[in-house]
C-alpha cells in the first residue's frame, strides 16, 4: 500500500479525533472519533452511534461527513478515525487509528475521491489515498 507523509494540519485532525473520543467515549454508544477537513479548511468531527440493533448503528465517518454537508461543505480533503478500546478485553488498550469500513470507503469515494485517509502504517500515522483504499468503487455504469 502506497502511503505519504502527513501534511501541515494533519496532526491537528489527529488531536481533534483523539480529544473527541476521550471526551465522548461510552462503551454502550461511542468508541470511534473522527475528524474531517473540508476543502474550505474547516474541520468537522463526529462520533459513531452504536445501536442495540446492530445495523441501525452509524459510523463516525458518516456523522462527520453529515455535519460538513449540513453546513454547505460539499468536498472534503482528509479524514482520520481513532478508536477507543471497548473494555479491558480488547487487544489494544489505548486509543489507536484504524481504517474505515467498506461502506464508509464507498461514501468517501463519492465525497472525497481525491482525498486521503490518515492511517497507522508501520506504527506511524501516514496518508493513504481514498482510491488506494477502494480501487474498484461501485458504479452504475457498465464499463
Ligand atoms: Zn464505516
Expressed in angstroms and rounded, the spacing between residue 120 Cα and the centre of ligand 1 is 17
- CA 37/CA 87 separation, integer angstroms: 30
Domain ranges of the chain: 10-133
Expressed in angstroms and rounded, the spacing between residue 51 Cα and the centre of ligand 1 is 14
DSSP per-residue string spanning 73-134:
---EEEEEEEE--SSTTSS--S-EE-PPPHHHHHHHHHH-TT-EEEEEETTEEEEEEHHHH-
pLDDT at 54: 87
pLDDT at 142: 61
Between the alpha carbon of residue 43 and those of residues 4, 53, 64, 142, the distances in Å are 21, 30, 9, 36
pLDDT at 136: 77
Determine the average pLDDT of the residues in 21-50. Answer: 97
Expressed in angstroms and rounded, the spacing between residue 126 Cα and the centre of ligand 1 is 19
pLDDT at 92: 80
pLDDT at 87: 77
pLDDT digits (tens, 9 = 90+) for 106-143: 999 999 999 999 999 998 999 999 999 988 777 777 65
Expressed in angstroms and rounded, the spacing between residue 40 Cα and the centre of ligand 1 is 24
Residue 1 banded pLDDT, cuts 50, 70, 90: confident
Total number of residues shown for the chain: 143
Look up the CATH number of domain 10-133.
3.40.140.10
pLDDT digits (tens, 9 = 90+) for 62-103: 999 999 999 999 999 999 999 999 878 888 889 999 999 999
The one-character DSSP state at 129 is: E
Q: Is 61 one of the catalytic residues?
A: yes
- Choosing from 19, 61, 106, 141, the catalytic residue is 61
Amino acid at each position: 500500500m502506497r502511503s505519504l507523509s502527513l501534511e501541515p494540519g494533519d496532526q491537528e485532525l489527529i488531536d481533534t479525533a483523539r480529544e473527541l473520543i476521550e471526551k465522548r467515549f461510552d462503551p454502550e454508544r461511542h468508541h470511534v472519533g473522527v475528524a474531517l477537513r473540508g476543502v474550505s479548511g474547516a474541520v468537522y468531527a463526529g462520533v459513531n452511534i452504536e445501536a442495540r440493533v446492530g445495523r441501525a448503528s452509524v459510523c463516525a465517518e458518516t456523522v462527520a461527513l453529515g455535519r460538513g454537508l449540513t453546513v454547505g461543505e460539499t468536498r472534503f480533503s482528509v479524514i482520520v478515525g481513532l478508536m477507543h478500546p471497548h473494555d479491558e478485553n480488547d487487544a489494544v488498550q489505548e486509543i489507536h487509528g484504524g481504517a474505515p469500513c467498506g461502506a464508509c470507503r464507498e461514501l468517501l469515494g463519492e465525497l472525497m475521491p481525491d482525498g486521503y485517509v490518515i492511517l497507522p502504517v508501520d506504527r506511524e500515522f501516514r496518508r493513504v489515498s481514498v482510491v488506494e483504499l477502494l480501487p474498484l468503487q461501485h458504479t452504475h455504469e457498465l464499463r
